[in-house]
Amino acid sequence: MNSSDHALRGRNLSFSFGAVPVLWNLDVDLRWGTVTAIAGPNGAGKSTLIEILAGVRRALAGTVERGGEVALVVQRATVPDALPLTVRDVAMMGTWGSPAAPSGRVGARERRFRVAEALDRVQLADLADAPFGSLSGGQRQRALLAQGLARRAGIFLLDEPAAGLDAESRERTSSMLAEEARRGAAVACVSHDEDSIAAATSVIRLEGGRRVG
Ligand SMILES: Nc1ncnc2c1ncn2[C@@H]1O[C@H](COP(=O)(O)OP(=O)(O)OP(=O)(O)O)[C@@H](O)[C@H]1O
């Protein structure tokens, strides 16, 4: 990418589900060290956009240039209750194939350290050995946030990380994202919460798949 302050640049992004257009010709710029809120009414295309920015969904038209590794925190992930995954396992997944140190791959010790730190930050250290399936909705959301934090990626994309959280946890999530930006990350976060939107460095507003702000 030419301009060094740009972590991610999307140009002319369009997407349809079948014949139904969902995103129209969007431009998106994310800068290092900033938090961008992605706001808009239900069905505006926010989740679709974040998936395209993360590279887990392909735009039908347009380009996305990324200047670093991406961590994606998905919304309301479900795991079969019978799957024996602990909270620590879920956070550890964030380190899989994670951006290596310049010296090479991230070692097991470093991964364990990152996971412990991430679980501490989302206040789930006490539940590290609990089955993920036994958590409440809000706790699951925090475990997924820990998964993203453990990745230590330069570009941090989140689909409503505060959904289902109480006011205090929403506030904590918001300040954690600000901390990630302070360490230099480019953070973009789908949000319905006016306080988090107001706290962001910049806002992308979508309506009916078009950018209106
Ligand atoms: N898998 C799918 N197949 C068909 N249509 C879909 C699919 N996923 C989403 N859509 C439609 O695409 C549009 C955009 O959906 P998207 O989930 O991106 O919006 P959103 O702004 O994130 O909404 P919300 O705030 O409710 O999560 C909506 O009209 C939705 O119904």
Written as six digits, the tokens of 81 are 């209750």
Residue 176: CB atoms within 10 Å: 21
- Return the ligand 1 atom nearest residue 40 CA: 21
β partners of residue 156: 71, 187
Which atom, in ligand 1's list, is nearest to the CA of 206?
21
100 alpha carbon – ligand 1 mean position (Å): 34
The one-letter amino acid at 210: R
Q: What is the pLDDT of residue 167?
A: 86
The pLDDT tens digits of the residues spanning 48-79 come to: 999 999 999 999 999 999 999 999 998 766 77
Q: What is the pLDDT of residue 66?
A: 96
- Considering only CA atoms, give the Rg of the chain: 17
Give me the pLDDT at residue 136, please. 86
Torsion sign, CA atoms 81, 86, 88, 92: negative
H-type helices in 45-191, by residue range?
46-54, 87-93, 108-121, 137-151, 167-182
Kindly write down the DSSP assignment for every residue of 36-81, as one continuous string.
EEEE-STTSSHHHHHHHHHTSS--SEEEEEESS-EEEE-SS----T
d(CA 67, CA 207): 27
Helices 137-151 and 167-182 cross at an angle (nearest 10°) of 10
171 DSSP assignment: H
Q: Residue ranges of the chain with pLDDT lower than 50?
A: 2
pLDDT at 170: 86
Ligand 1 atom with least separation from CA of 45? 18
Query: Can you give the residue ranges of every domain in the chain?
Result: 33-56+69-203
What does the mean pLDDT of the chain come to?
90
Determine the distance separating the centroid of ligand 1 and the alpha carbon of 14, expressed in angstroms.
Answer: 14
Choice from 13, 14, 15, 17 to test ligand 1 binding pocket (greatest atom count within 8 A of CB) = 17
Tell me what pLDDT residue 76 has: 66
What one-character DSSP code corresponds to residue 11? E
CA dihedral angle for residue 40, residue 138, residue 7, residue 53, rounded to 10 degrees: -60
Question: Which pLDDT score, from 0 to 100, does residue 137 have?
Answer: 84
- Choosing from 14, 22, 205 the residue with most ligand 1 atoms within 8 A of its CB, the one to mutate for a pocket test is 22
**Residues near ligand 1 with C-beta < 6 Å?**
17, 22, 40, 42-48
Q: Which fold has domain 33-56+69-203?
A: Rossmann fold (3.40.50)
Distances (CA, A) of 124 to 32, 75, 167: 28, 18, 17
Strands 70-73 and 155-159: parallel
What is the pLDDT, as a whole number, of residue 172?
Answer: 86
Cα of 102 vs centre of ligand 1, distance in Å, is 38
Q: Whose CA is nearest to atom 18 of ligand 1?
A: 45
Residues 81-100 pLDDT 10s: 777 899 999 999 998 876 55
Residue nearest to atom 1 of ligand 1 (CA): 17
- The pTM for the full model equals 0.90
